[in-house]
Structure 1
Amino acid sequence: MSASSNVTAPIKSLPADMELVLKVIPLPADVNANGDIFGGWVMAQCDLAGSVIPARHAKGRMATVAVNEFVFKQPVRLGDILSFYSKLVRIGRTSVTVTVEVFAERHQAQGEYIKVTEATFTYVAIDDNGRPRPIAQA
């Protein structure tokens, strides 16, 4: 596969079927030795973004129980404006699963977006002892 086939074409619009849950700009302290943003930093931001929708259902303490999938599609660069979109996948008896998609608006290409990361997380509602507790069904 050639390097050019690995590049994602910019898109002009963001997901209409997902909710914008976080926007953030990585800082110089978040850069790795290659000059890109640390993958671990991106993962931490995805975990925060992924917790927004489950918090509405858990109505109390919750914890990340699984990172079901995590795909880095493109590098995140210093100066990118990152938009984190999330969507509910499943509500179980004690858990909530969501997808998170991350789009970068490159510093020199404002108004164009590139999907840089996608992930699926499961969060579990927990009681004061850290044990799973039921989620009230709407």
Structure 2
Amino acid sequence: MLEDLEHDQDLDQDQDEPCPQGNLALQVTALPRDTNAFNDIYGGWLVNQMDLAATATASRLAGGRVATVAIDRMAFMVPVNVGADLAFYTQVEDIGRSSIKVQVEVWSDDPMAVERRKVTEALFVFVAIDSSGRTRSLPQR
């Protein structure tokens, strides 16, 4: 009986810890070349990596070429240190006739920090395009 109670408490603690939403789409290590003069990782570099992860997810669903048309709800929560291992998780939020919305979360496993932390998140909007660069309908699923 006591063991069951302790097991339930362990489960409750596990559920209280934040965890990534979606599927792992990309992993990279933040390197010195990706920093500014203050040794912080460039926000633009991080957005670029997020776009790569989201594009991979959207292009798979679109069955081909997609273009980023918007980035919405961008929020940086903690800085990223050189040497941090970053994991990019993607989750499809909405699929339209020719558009796909992909939520991206970035998590850091930083050797300088005690625990894994959520770094940033944003909603990326894509539109499927044909070889001429014109909007096309998404394939039927």
TM-score after normalising by structure 2? 0.83
Instruction: Please tell me whether residue 124 in structure 1 is matched to residue 127 in structure 2.
Output: yes
Unaligned runs of 5+ in 2: 1-15
The equivalent position to 1:103 in structure 2, one of 107, 110, 121, is 107
Q: RMSD of the alignment, in Å? A: 1.6
Instruction: Please tell me whether residue 91 in structure 1 is matched to residue 64 in structure 2.
Output: no
- CA-to-aligned-CA distance 1:35-78 (integer Å, 9 cap, x gap): 11001000000000111221111111111011122111111110
- Identity rate of aligned residues, in percent? 45
Q: Could you tell me how far apart the structure 1 residues matched to 2:134 and 2:26 are? A: 28
3-state SS of 2:81 partner: coil
Q: Work out which structure has the larger RCO, using CA pairs closer than 8 Å and 6 or more positions apart in sequence.
A: 1
The equivalent position to 2:49 in structure 1, one of 45, 54, 58, is 45
Q: Could you tell me how far apart the structure 1 residues matched to 2:82 and 2:95 are? A: 36
- CA-to-aligned-CA distance 1:95-132 (integer Å, 9 cap, x gap): 1001000011111447x211111010011110111110
The count of aligned residue pairs is 126
Q: Could you tell me how far apart the structure 2 residues matched to 1:48 and 1:96 are? A: 15
Larger Cα-atom Rg: 2
TM-score after normalising by structure 1? 0.85
Contact 1:14 1:113 survives alignment (8 Å)? no
